[in-house]
Structure 1
Amino acid sequence: MQMNILKHSLLLTLLLIIASCTEEGDLTNSISENELLDYKELLNLSYGESSNQTYDIYLPEGRNEDTKVIILVHGGGWNSGDKSSMLPLINLYKVDFPEVALVNINYRLSDEDNPPYPMQINDITTIVDDLKSKKDDYVISNEYGFLGISAGGHLSLLWSYSFDIDNNVKMVASIVGPTNFTDPAYLNNTNPILQELLDSYGVNTTISFLEEVSPVHQAKTTSPPTIHFYGGQDPLIPVSQGTNLRDKLNSLNVNNDYTLYPDAGHGWGGTELLDTWSKLKTFTETQLL
């Protein structure tokens, strides 16, 4: 199923374009301290053998060992999509958070022979390990925020709740990300489009597996502060996906911010878009910086 989610999402309604110099390459050789303090863009850095195992990192001017990092995870139904779709958000963060390092990731896409779990979670772990190993070269901290959209929201939540063994994630943001595969709205659905999405995840129907891949079931009292957004008319993500996560986090006393736009679908624009970015900005300022 080809789901170019972001082409129809709130993010691509943004017309902000920023002119900036780019540099492609890797850090095979250590870069001098003076160079590191300049603004840097390092694009298509490889972290594995697959052509999809790449990430871009945007290193802010004047950074130091306390510089926080935001990792962006694209959507696409786990079997499509590309990090380029997150560039509007990259540009917004550059303007409003010039002191933050940004990491825009690709991950291996699923197909009939390669289910998304645990493959894509393993890719995120490899990226985080790579960032940690190059912490001194990049001049960044080990404190991260995640922001994902749709399938990327699901991956951001799941990794932050289940696989952040060192508690490096200080906040996670999800826009229309699935949270609970045991939701009756999924298990008992009669929507062929929704079922195609679930089938693309290769869902094993055992309850234990569904819980293992559901952020709602993996949340715990130590989970990071979470902000999440949903559309009331979304044909792919039922409203209960957001309320399930909100209620679970509230029961665990985990700081969270839940927003539902009643008339929106799997993406939105206008005043709702402005509200989303305003809330993301405030949450980032209070939880990560």
Structure 2
Amino acid sequence: MNKFRGFLFLILILLGCKEKTVHLGKEISFDKRMNISYGVDAEQKLDLYIPKRHGQIKNVFIIVHGGGWRGGDKSELTFFTLSLMQKFPESVFANINYRLASSSRFALPNQTDDVGKAISFLEKTLEYKLTFILLGNSAGGHLSMLYAYKVNTKFKVKAVVNIVGPSDLSDPNFKNYSDYSFVENQLVNPVAPPACISKTTFASPTRSIHDNSPPTISFYGNNDQVIPSSQKSILDSVLSKNSVYNKSFEFSGGHLDWDKEKNADFLLNKIDVFLKQIK
């Protein structure tokens, strides 16, 4: 893996150039299209990677970055996206940005709307039947789950890969989150939830799980100081109660340690096995 990491570093340098093809080894190459607009807002951009071997395409991964709903950028997941491309050379990859929350703009439902807009854009842009896999870390994991369980009414999402994403915002243990006041006051547009539903319930993925929710694999750190371990157990329990196929794993380290070399290999291998089981 060390040699492969060095190779990917060179690929990252190439991505900053005008090269329109990413080569990831023997017979693995992708066309790349950077900073494509999928909406009218300046933040609605995505990087698109399409396998050269069109006849072999199986799935579309939509990669959703973290950053506390108010920060972060798709470039932070470019490296992991390249690792996924090496592991899944017959899939399309879309690494997306979305409208970030601010003092004048709520995160939800804007950000789940943006996931939907990216899906619609890809359906119109690509010329084959698509199934989607949502993969996100932290806030991106939360958005991936929330879209898949709450908004995915046409069941276009085949699976969810959740990496350290909060699953139940009303969990008492999660209230120790350093910026929980943002979760309570700025995460959700107050006009979005029905009158009988609180904002934290509206924004909690576990509250929208049903028996047709897509299979989900989750990863949490065993020393995460941001997302408590109770988030993993709550998510596992609700998915299982609704008979949704699910797997969850712990990796060694904290909230930001999931993409360290040993952990990244662990995640990639578990994701590979999981997706093969839900063909």
- Normalising by structure 1, we get a TM-score of 0.80
Identity %: 32
Q: 1:172 aligns with which of 152, 156, 160?
A: 160
Letter in 1 for 2:112: I
Residues 69 and 270 of structure 1, relative CA distance in 2, 3 Å threshold: closer
| SS of match in other structure, 1:177 | coil
Residues 65 and 165 of structure 1, relative CA distance in 2, 3 Å threshold: farther
Inter-partner Cα distance in structure 2 for 1:260 and 1:104: 24
Query: Is 1:252 aligned to residue 242 of structure 2?
Result: yes
| SS of match in other structure, 2:170 | coil
Residue 26 of structure 2: aligned partner? none
Question: Which ranges in structure 2 are unaligned for 5 or more consecutive residues?
Answer: 22-28
Residues 200 and 230 of structure 1, relative CA distance in 2, 3 Å threshold: farther
Residue 155 of structure 1: aligned partner? 143
Shift in Å at residue 96 of structure 1? 1.6
Inter-partner Cα distance in structure 1 for 2:133 and 2:263: 23
Residue 231 of structure 2: aligned partner? 241
Residue 266 of structure 1: aligned partner? 255
Inter-partner Cα distance in structure 1 for 2:248 and 2:110: 29
The answer on whether the counterparts of 1:144 and 1:169 sit within 8 Å (CA) in structure 2 is yes
Residue 54 of structure 2: aligned partner? 63
Shift in Å at residue 280 of structure 1? 1.5
Shift in Å at residue 236 of structure 1? 1.4
Inter-partner Cα distance in structure 2 for 1:82 and 1:92: 18
Residue 9 of structure 1: aligned partner? none
Query: Is 1:124 aligned to residue 121 of structure 2?
Result: no
Shift in Å at residue 182 of structure 1? 1.5
Inter-partner Cα distance in structure 1 for 2:240 and 2:177: 32
Query: Is 1:17 aligned to residue 5 of structure 2?
Result: no
The answer on whether the counterparts of 1:216 and 1:245 sit within 8 Å (CA) in structure 2 is yes
Shift in Å at residue 39 of structure 1? 3.9
Inter-partner Cα distance in structure 2 for 1:163 and 1:66: 25
- Normalising by structure 2, we get a TM-score of 0.83
Residues 62 and 272 of structure 1, relative CA distance in 2, 3 Å threshold: closer
CA RMSD in angstroms, aligned pairs only: 2.5
Query: Is 1:183 aligned to residue 171 of structure 2?
Result: yes
Letter in 2 for 1:17: F
Shift in Å at residue 194 of structure 1? 4.5
Deviations 1:173-213 (CA, angstroms, capped at 9, x unpaired): 01100110111213xx4x47253563585356985322111
Residue 64 of structure 2: aligned partner? 73
Inter-partner Cα distance in structure 1 for 2:35 and 2:250: 35
Inter-partner Cα distance in structure 2 for 1:270 and 1:134: 34
Shift in Å at residue 65 of structure 1? 8.5
Shift in Å at residue 45 of structure 1? 0.9
Question: Which ranges in structure 1 are unaligned for 5 or more consecutive residues?
Answer: 1-13, 25-37
Inter-partner Cα distance in structure 2 for 1:240 and 1:157: 17
- What is the total number of aligned residue pairs between the two structures? 255
Inter-partner Cα distance in structure 2 for 1:167 and 1:94: 24
